[in-house]
Amino acid sequence: MKIIVRKNEQSIKTNVVFVSKQGVKKCEGELEVLQGVFKGKWAETLFVPTTKDSQNTLFIGLGNETYFSYEKARRLAAVVYTSLKSRGQNTAKINIETLYKKNVSDWGKLVQAVTEGLILKSYKLEEYKSNNKKEEEKTICFCLPESHQQEAEKAVSKGVIIAESTNIAKDIATQPGNYMTPSLLAEQAQKHSQNTKIKVTVWDKKKLEQEKMGGILGVSAGSSEEPRFIIMEYKGATNPAEKPICFVGKGVTFDTGGISLKPGHAMDEMKFDMCGSTVVIGSLLAIEKLKLKVNVLGLIPATENMPGPSATKPGDILTARNKKTMEILNTDAEGRLILADALSYASEQKPQVIFDTATLTGAVLMALGNIYTGLFTKNEDLYTKIMTAAKNSGERVWRLPLMEEHTKDMDSTIADVSNLSFSRGAGSSTAAAFLEHFVDKNIPWAHFDIAGTSYNVEKRLEYCNHRTASGAMVRTFIELAQLYES
Ligand code: BES
Ligand code: ZN
Ligand code: ZN
């Protein structure tokens, strides 16, 4: 997609105009075409082939402008993309001024959001269709007053970087399990980091054994695919010795549940069990391209979770990198076992802060649906920072409790910790309490459970697609990195 910024562009015939409910009222009489037909309701569309000046107009409803936001602008941009696509239109000019409202009055942020919405929506996994026809490139012109064009150009570049990096994350996560094994995931991290300042180191099975990564090895024991541990390093801080911020992401390239096998229904969705890892890859790629002045360490434990003759069994005990023993009561609670090693390793590196993200529990989907990502942290300052980042990214994050009781529920009779709670309910909190055992108490830490938000959210967020990863938390992680800039 090519995005250009102009005051106007006569050669492009389709004008995209946004109209709020309040706006329709004001237009009455002036634009008869809107009267009665178009109400300005959220995401409503009306295409009027030729209005004055032989231009087409695509009206898009913005809803009630009192509740308009940058995130809504991002979502409406996706509605524009879909409308143009369904009409086979490859060019359009978007009247940005019609999105400029009381709550949305920063031209840069607005243009960035619209850019992101358009590019996010344009992603589609197509390479497995044999009659795959490449779509013609779209040219979109943003029309806005000259005095804001410079700012808009910068915002477009920023939005392009963020959305394209998110699309890389979505693409890796949406690949089928047989095309995205742990070793192929590591290759993706390496491929996308080529010609960048990101250094990638990949540990194979032998190295994982030497490094005593007992959680990752235990989970991968049932699979013929070797596990990997992927280390991504970016040094952007003015002082290269500055402590990094650390991102950790669960990379289970397919989760069958292992010996505690999952039921067959919708098991294909477990190819998305690596969405956390792709948040790490996507956000590091964007942070590097944006040249943020911060040091970032990205860590990805990658494995399949399969049943097999040598698979870990319920009742087995594994030893994590920090020497804590873990009793496995359900092999389907595998994400926490591989994160145990990754968080232990992260703590050894003495970062300023650790953020991990994982499709960790079905319970978070029960609690927050596919609307909010579950957040766990005991650190109040960090909580405030995260909410600022989420507000800036437009992504929804909701804090859930992490308390002594949850920790107690994970006690094991014969090992240091059990991977399954002995109480009913609060499955996302007890999972977080398990993870806490592997984080150095002196390092601020937050855990994001994206099991509900990392795919199948197209009915909530117009810029996401059916049966496709959403890239949830990539934008928030980029915002977080910005908050740690030197
Ligand atoms: N990958 C799943 C969690 C998940 C569930 C992600 C639904 C996306 C959608 C995880 O490994 C898992 O299976 N967790 C178990 C833990 C339980 C056995 C304690 C769960 O949530 O059922
Ligand atoms: Zn599982
Ligand atoms: Zn899993």
pLDDT in tens, 82-132: 999 999 999 999 999 999 999 999 999 999 999 999 999 999 999 999 988
Alpha helices in 98-148 (DSSP H): 107-121
Calculate how far, in angstroms, residue 332's C-alpha sits from the geometric centre of ligand 2: 3
Q: If you take atom 22 of ligand 1, which residue's CA is the nearest one?
A: 362
Strand 245-249 and strand 353-358: pairing?
A: parallel
67-86 tens-digit pLDDT: 999 999 999 999 999 999 99
- pLDDT in the model for residue 36: 77
Q: Which atom of ligand 1 is nearest to the CA of 421?
A: 19
357-415 tens-digit pLDDT: 999 999 999 999 999 999 999 999 999 999 999 999 999 999 999 999 999 999 999 99
Catalytic one of 39, 85, 235, 262:
262
- pLDDT in the model for residue 54: 73
Dist. CA 486–CA 476, nearest whole Å:
18
Q: Please report, rounded to a whole number, the percentage of residues in the chain having pLDDT higher than 70.
A: 98
Active-site annotation holds for 21? no
Is residue 68 within 8 A of residue 20, CB to CB? The reply is yes
Active-site annotation holds for 336? yes
228-247 tens-digit pLDDT: 999 999 999 999 999 999 99
Is the model's pTM score more than 0.95?
yes
Q: Which atom of ligand 1 is nearest to the CA of 360?
A: 3
Q: Is the pLDDT of residue 30 over 60?
A: no
The residue assigned the tokens 């390793």 is: 345
264-322 tens-digit pLDDT: 999 999 999 999 999 999 999 999 999 999 999 999 999 999 999 999 999 999 999 99
Dist. CA 99–CA 20, nearest whole Å:
9
Q: If you take atom 18 of ligand 1, which residue's CA is the nearest one?
A: 333
First to last CA, the chain: 33
- pLDDT in the model for residue 35: 67
- pLDDT in the model for residue 49: 86
Closest to 262 in 3D by CA, of 406, 185, 362:
362
- pLDDT in the model for residue 93: 97
Closest to 12 in 3D by CA, of 157, 142, 153:
142
Q: Is the pLDDT of residue 52 over 80?
A: no
- Ligand (nearest to CA of 253): 3
pLDDT band of residue 202 (cuts 50, 70, 90) is very high
401-460 tens-digit pLDDT: 999 999 999 999 999 999 999 999 999 999 999 999 999 999 999 999 999 999 999 999
Closest to 473 in 3D by CA, of 191, 276, 329:
276
Dist. CA 17–CA 7, nearest whole Å:
14
Alpha helices in 290-321 (DSSP H): none
- pLDDT in the model for residue 50: 77
What does the angle CA 352 – CA 368 – CA 278 come to, to the nearest 5 degrees? 50
One-letter amino acid for residue 354 of the chain: I
Retrieve residue 10's tokens.
Answer: 């006569």
